[in-house]
Structures are given as structure tokens and as C-alpha cells.
């Protein structure tokens, strides 16, 4: 597209958790399918500089970008939908905005002026929104504002949107996402909260151009017209967003409602190519019409909160679709696993994945799960802490170092098989100081990982402070745990595998962040494939039932 970058703002009203991220990603997908270049940005109104220091109970998974930014999990959706990388610039929090402004103030850049929310904070917000547009590569920048309109903390963002809409004229529009609650007593969807939410937005000077209404039941005839009348929008700009069977259906639902067409027309774009969603629909077909199913256990300490393992769950789904198999996840709480109940908890699984994590809570359960996978020859994938636990388990139960541990769990352990990296030792600040982002890794020809990736040099994203302790390398190798992937520069171990096991792979990095609908992650695809193989094997070994 020639001409200036178009800005689309997405706000939410009535309640939080309406799925602004999915709607934004779906709109982006539809625009991308018409050949436009799009990026999506999330503005988070909390004071933390980034979500890296947040407990998953507070905020779900922390998603890591190629450039090592610790970001909101919505960025994971953006990448999974668009298959284009995001970066630090795609996630900005109030903490970061204030930090930038205060740093400028300390450098004397405000020339003696009083520094205020308006214009200084709003200018910094506007600078961050436009920074993506100024790169000159995007036709559209979609900016999603976290939280709900009316919250005190989102006021400066709405004000920044008001100013940008005024400055950009035809090159900007705003979409407001609301909820139509259903009253079961009268059997009706109600529009009043939407009207009030739009009023709230209007009182802040922002007229939404498009309303996306989340609803559990179909909107009845005349409802769009009614909302349009009360909210100063066209009836066709009132978009119904019904509950979907899967998030991957949402782009198609939005296409049916012509969200992209209304957006393009409102932004003055009259000529645009047809959308090509053939790859997307092919994925959906494989995903929804599997030829078989497989059961995989996901062992972690946050399993009651599925958002904590968002990217892993999605990566398993992508890999399932690629294998035309439905992946059923059994969520296994690592704190509740004991050697006594393990066979019951993990029995019948064709694959076991041990999740990343921090701190000692649940660690012994993870180690027990890995022992089970190793001894029973169940396909295993260990990610980050999951890989570190595999190393500890092997040291304890195969090498016979019963007190082996990571120095994260036990600073003075006699066998520190996992230890803090040298460069981490002097670091005191907790935020943004781990080993973060993409690092290269070389794989050994013929290893399970190399076979899965179909290449020898890979690059994967990291988020950790501890590492395999190379002082023990020879001992592990001799006993059958092989370092099949290493960082070519630092020689840090990135991937371990067991010599005598059908499929046992532990990775220090996080493959889940790079799995997308267009490119399911090869390691997850390989893991699910191995699990399918195991299921077939297990079925063929079933004792014959005689009557």
C-alpha cells in the first residue's frame, strides 16, 4: 500500500477479558490476508516496567520476543496469527512510559519545564505508538489498550488516542469492544452496558468508529440498528462477535461480519485485493477434523491457571494439527505428584511434557515425572526448568549422586549439575536481567532434535539464569545423557537427549514461543509424532481380552 501508515486503536469496555487480543490479531490476520503489512502493539496500563517480574497467577505467561523483551501473552497471539516477529516496541507499559519520561527529565531534556501527564506522558505514549509506524514497513499499526475504559490508569492512553485521532484524521480509527450480557430470566441480550461504555469513551473525547460486541447468543434483528443509533456509528460498523469453538475461528467469524471491509473503507482505502486465507483454513480443517487422538501430560505448578502455559498449549495444538491428531492435554499438578501416585497420575499418557518454572515449589514432582518417563520409555519433552530437572533426575538416579540439584533450589548442593551462569552472578536487579531472547544452537547430526528440525543450526529464545554445569559433561555423556545441542560460541548446553530412549529431549530454551499456525514448531511436531508412535505401540501391547 502506498501512502501513510494507518493507525487502528482497540479499546475495551464493560468488562475485562473480552478477548481484545484475539479480535486485534484476527483483524490483523484479515488485513494481512489481503496483502497488507500489519503489526500489533499492546499498551498495558500497569506500573511494572514489564511483566517479567509478575507472578503467572497475576498475569499468565510471560511471552519472550526475539530481541529478548519480556512481554504480555497477547504478543504470543499476534505472532501465532501473523507469523511475523514482534519486539520490545510491541509492548509498552505505564511503568516504561514513566521510566522514559523520568530519565529524560533527569537528563534535563525538558528545559526547566514542569513535567506533567499531559502533555509529557501522553506525548511519550504517542511516540511509542508512532514508533512502529515510522519504521516505514507497516501499512497498519493496530494498538490494543489493556484494561477497561473508565479505569483511572488507562486515562492517559485514551487521551493519547483522542489526540492522535485528531492529528491523523482519515489515517486513524478506533474500535471499541464491548459485551452484550444475556439475561436468562428474560432470555434477552442487553445493550445498555454497551451504550454506557460508549458514553464513557465519548466523555473522554473519543468517538468509536466501530463497535465489536461480544455475545454468547446471536444478536436479534434490529439490535445492531439500536446500538448504532445510541452510539453514533453505522449499523454495519456494529460487529457481532459470537463465542467461538476455537480462537482460530475468530478471523473467519470477523470476515463474515466484514470487519476488515468496514475498517478499510473507513480508512479511505477503496481498492484492495481479495483475502487469501487458504493456508489458515487448511490448518483449521486439520485441527478440527483429526484422524486420531493422543494424550499428553503437561506437568507444571500453575496447571489450575491455563494461561500460565498459553504458548505451550497452542504449540501442542499446532503440532497436533500438523500430525492430523487431536492432542488431549492432561494437566498434572507437580506439587501433587509423589512416587506413590505417579503411575496413576501419568498412566495412559503417550507423552509427558515438563514445563518451565522458577523456584523449588513442585520441583520434586517434576523430577518424579521425568523418572517415570525415562524408565517407562514415554516420549518426553522438558522445557527450560523441565530440562534442568531432567538433568537433576539423571544425576540422582542414574549417576547415583542422590543429592544432585540446581543451585537455584539449593545454593550449597554437593552436586551442582545445574548452576548459575557466570555472567549472572554479579546481577542484583531482578527485572530484565536473565539470559533473554534468541541465541544460536548447533545440533548433532542424527539426534532426535536435529531430525525434528531437519537442520543443524537453529536459533531459539531463552529466559533463564541457570545452566547445565559443564564440569559434569563427560560423566553425563558416558552414562547416556547426551548434550546434542550447544551454543557454538559459549559451549553452553542447549539440548540433552537420552541415548537409550525412544524420544527424550530436554531443551534449555523455549521452543513454544516460536510455534505459529503457519509454522508449527518442529520440536513439538516431533514430540507429538513420537507420542502417536507410543500410543500405537501401547495399543498393540494391550492384553487380549478373552471372553
Residue 75 near residue 60, CB atoms below 8 Å? no
Of 283 and 466, the one with the shorter C-beta distance to ligand GLN is: 466
Of 18 and 385, the one with the shorter C-beta distance to ligand GLN is: 385
Residue 73 near residue 58, CB atoms below 8 Å? no
Of 210 and 308, the one with the shorter C-beta distance to ligand GLN is: 308
x-marked contacts with ligand GLN along 504-523 as a string, rule CB under 6 A:
--------------------
| Window contacting ligand GLN (CB under 6 A); options: 17-25, 41-49, 352-360, 477-485 | 352-360
x-marked contacts with ligand GLN along 310-349 as a string, rule CB under 6 A:
----------------------------------------
To the nearest whole angstrom, how small is the minimum distance from the Cβ of residue 401 to ligand GLN? 20
Residue 148 near residue 49, CB atoms below 8 Å? no
Q: Which residues on neighbouring strands pair with residue 418, listed in sequence order? A: 406, 468
Of 357 and 511, the one with the shorter C-beta distance to ligand GLN is: 357
Alpha-carbon distance 301 to 355, whole Å? 8
| Window contacting ligand GLN (CB under 6 A); options: 12-20, 112-120, 247-255, 462-470 | 462-470
Count of residues near ligand GLN by CB under 6 A: 10
Cis status, amide bond into 228, omega within 30 of 0: no
Q: In sequence order, which ranges of 178-240 are alpha helices (DSSP H)?
A: 192-203, 223-231
H/E stretch holding 94? helix 94-106
| Window contacting ligand GLN (CB under 6 A); options: 43-51, 337-345, 457-465, 498-506 | 457-465
Q: Which of 97, 213, 250, 384 binds ligand GLN (CB under 6 A)?
A: 384
Of 33 and 409, the one with the shorter C-beta distance to ligand GLN is: 409
Geometric angle at alpha carbon 178, from 63 and 30, rounded to 5°:
60
Q: Which of 126, 465, 473, 490 binds ligand GLN (CB under 6 A)?
A: 465
The sheet that has 238-242: what strands, in order across it? 91-93, 38-44, 140-145, 6-12, 172-179, 210-215, 238-242
To the nearest whole angstrom, how small is the minimum distance from the Cβ of residue 206 to ligand GLN? 39
Residue 125 near residue 156, CB atoms below 8 Å? yes
H/E stretch holding 91? strand 91-93
| Window contacting ligand GLN (CB under 6 A); options: 234-242, 308-316, 461-469, 534-542 | 461-469
Q: Is 461 in the site for ligand GLN (CB under 6 A)?
A: no
Q: Which of 162, 464, 501, 514 binds ligand GLN (CB under 6 A)?
A: 464
Of 462 and 529, the one with the shorter C-beta distance to ligand GLN is: 462
List the interface residues with ligand GLN, window 398-427 (CB under 6 A).
408
To the nearest whole angstrom, how small is the minimum distance from the Cβ of residue 405 to ligand GLN? 12
Residue 474 near residue 522, CB atoms below 8 Å? no
Residue with cell 511516540: 127
Of 175 and 449, the one with the shorter C-beta distance to ligand GLN is: 449
Q: Which residues on neighbouring strands pair with residue 347, listed in sequence order? A: none
Per the annotation, the verdict on 200 as an active-site residue is no
Per the annotation, the verdict on 445 as an active-site residue is no
Q: How big is the chain, counted in residues?
A: 547
H/E stretch holding 58? helix 56-59
Q: Among the options 213, 384, 389, 441, which is catalytic?
A: 384
Q: Which of 46, 230, 331, 358 binds ligand GLN (CB under 6 A)?
A: 358
Of 329 and 385, the one with the shorter C-beta distance to ligand GLN is: 385
The CA–CA distances, whole Å, from 384 to 53, 238, 460 equal 17, 45, 12
To the nearest whole angstrom, how small is the minimum distance from the Cβ of residue 385 to ligand GLN? 3
Q: Is 206 in the site for ligand GLN (CB under 6 A)?
A: no
Alpha-carbon distance 410 to 25, whole Å? 42
Q: Is 438 in the site for ligand GLN (CB under 6 A)?
A: no
CB-count burial class (<10 Å; 0-12, 13-18, 19+) for 198: buried
Instruction: Return the axis-axis angle of helices 310-322 and 522-540, rounded to nearest 10°.
Output: 70
| Strands in 284-443 per DSSP E | 292-300, 325-333, 351-354, 380-383, 405-406, 416-420, 435-443
| Window contacting ligand GLN (CB under 6 A); options: 213-221, 263-271, 353-361, 451-459 | 353-361
Q: Tell me the Ramachandran region of residue 272: left when phi exceeds 0, alpha when psi lies from -120 to 50, beta otherwise.
A: beta
Return the C-alpha cell found at 41. 502493539
Q: Is 356 in the site for ligand GLN (CB under 6 A)?
A: yes
Sign of CA dihedral 405, 411, 412, 416: positive
Q: Which of 34, 463, 514, 521 binds ligand GLN (CB under 6 A)?
A: 463
Q: Is 357 in the site for ligand GLN (CB under 6 A)?
A: yes
To the nearest whole angstrom, how small is the minimum distance from the Cβ of residue 377 to ligand GLN? 25
To the nearest whole angstrom, how small is the minimum distance from the Cβ of residue 101 to ligand GLN? 31
To the nearest whole angstrom, how small is the minimum distance from the Cβ of residue 394 to ligand GLN? 17
Per the annotation, the verdict on 460 as an active-site residue is no
Residue with cell 506500573: 47
To the nearest whole angstrom, how small is the minimum distance from the Cβ of residue 388 to ligand GLN? 6
The CA–CA distances, whole Å, from 341 to 166, 335, 365 equal 63, 12, 10
Of 146 and 511, the one with the shorter C-beta distance to ligand GLN is: 511
To the nearest whole angstrom, how small is the minimum distance from the Cβ of residue 409 to ligand GLN? 9
**CB 476: neighbour CB atoms within 10 A?**
22
Task: Please give the residue ranges that form the binding site for ligand GLN (CB under 6 A).
Answer: 356-358, 384-385, 408, 463-466
Active-site annotation, residues? 384, 510, 512
Amino acid at each position: 500500500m502506498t501512502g501513510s501508515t494507518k493507525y487502528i486503536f482497540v479499546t475495551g469496555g464493560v468488562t475485562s477479558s473480552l478477548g481484545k487480543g484475539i479480535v486485534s490479531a484476527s483483524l490483523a490476520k484479515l488485513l494481512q490476508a489481503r496483502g497488507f503489512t500489519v503489526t500489533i502493539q499492546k499498551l498495558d496500563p500497569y506500573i511494572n516496567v514489564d511483566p517479567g517480574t509478575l507472578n503467572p497467577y497475576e498475569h499468565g505467561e510471560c511471552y519472550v520476543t526475539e530481541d529478548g523483551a519480556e512481554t504480555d501473552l497477547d504478543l504470543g497471539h499476534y505472532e501465532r496469527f501473523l507469523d511475523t516477529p514482534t519486539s520490545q516496541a510491541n509492548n509498552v507499559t505505564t511503568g516504561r512510559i514513566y521510566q522514559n519520561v523520568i530519565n529524560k527529565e533527569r537528563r534535563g531534556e525538558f528545559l526547566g519545564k514542569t513535567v506533567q501527564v499531559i502533555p509529557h506522558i501522553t506525548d511519550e505514549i504517542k511516540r511509542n505508538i508512532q514508533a512502529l509506524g515510522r519504521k516505514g514497513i507497516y501499512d497498519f499499526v493496530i494498538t490494543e489498550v489493556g484494561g477497561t475504559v473508565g479505569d483511572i490508569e488507562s486515562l492517559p492512553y485514551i487521551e493519547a488516542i483522542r489526540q492522535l485521532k485528531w492529528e491523523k484524521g482519515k489515517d486513524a480509527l478506533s474500535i471499541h469492544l464491548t459485551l452484550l450480557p444475556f439475561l436468562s430470566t428474560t432470555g434477552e441480550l442487553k445493550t445498555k452496558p454497551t451504550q454506557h461504555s460508549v458514553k464513557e469513551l465519548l466523555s473522554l473525547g473519543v468517538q468509536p468508529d466501530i463497535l465489536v460486541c461480544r455475545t454468547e447468543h446471536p444478536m436479534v434483528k434490529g439490535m445492531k440498528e439500536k446500538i448504532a443509533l445510541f452510539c453514533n456509528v453505522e449499523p454495519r460498523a456494529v460487529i457481532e462477535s459470537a463465542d467461538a469453538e476455537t480462537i482460530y475461528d475468530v478471523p473467519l467469524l470477523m470476515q463474515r461480519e466484514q470487519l476488515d471491509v468496514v475498517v478499510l473503507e473507513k480508512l479511505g482505502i477503496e481498492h484492495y485485493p481479495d483475502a487469501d486465507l487458504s493456508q489458515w483454513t487448511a490448518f483449521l480443517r486439520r485441527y478440527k477434523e483429526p484422524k486420531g487422538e493422543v494424550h499428553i501430560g503437561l506437568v507444571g505448578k500453575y496447571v489450575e491457571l491455563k494461561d500460565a502455559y498459553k504458548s505451550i498449549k497452542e504449540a501442542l495444538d499446532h503440532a497436533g494439527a500438523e500430525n492430523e491428531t487431536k492432542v488431549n492435554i492432561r494437566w498434572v499438578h507437580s506439587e501433587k505428584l509423589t512416587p506413590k501416585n505417579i503411575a496413576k497420575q501419568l498412566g495412559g499418557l503417550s507423552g509427558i511434557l515438563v514445563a518451565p518454572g522458577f523456584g523449588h515449589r513442585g520441583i520434586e514432582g517434576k523430577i518424579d515425572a521425568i523418572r517415570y518417563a525415562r524408565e517407562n520409555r514415554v516420549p518426553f519433552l522438558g522445557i527450560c526448568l523441565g530440562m534442568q530437572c531432567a538433568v537433576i533426575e539423571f544425576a540422582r538416579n542414574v549417576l547415583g549422586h542422590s543429592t544432585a540439584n540446581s543451585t537455584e533450589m539449593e545454593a550449597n548442593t554437593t552436586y551442582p549439575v545445574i548452576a548459575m551462569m557466570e555472567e549472572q552472578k554479579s546481577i542484583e536487579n531482578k527485572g530484565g536481567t536473565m539470559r533473554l531472547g534468541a541465541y544460536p544452537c548447533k545440533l548433532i547430526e542424527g539426534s532426535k532434535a536435529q531430525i525434528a528440525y531437519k537442520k543443524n543450526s537453529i536459533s531459539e529464545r531463552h529466559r533463564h539464569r541457570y545452566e547445565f554445569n559443564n564440569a559434569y559433561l563427560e560423566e553425563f555423556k558416558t552414562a547416556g545423557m547426551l548434550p546434542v545441542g550447544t551454543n557454538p560460541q559459549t559451549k553452553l548446553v542447549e539440548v540433552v537427549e537420552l541415548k537409550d530412549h525412544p524420544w527424550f529431549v530436554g531443551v534449555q530454551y523455549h521452543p513454544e514461543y516460536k510455534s505459529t499456525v503457519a509454522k508449527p514448531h518442529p520440536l513439538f511436531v516431533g514430540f507429538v509424532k513420537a507420542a502417536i508412535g507410543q500410543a500405537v505401540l501401547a495399543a498393540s501391547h494391550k492384553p487380549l481380552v478373552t471372553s
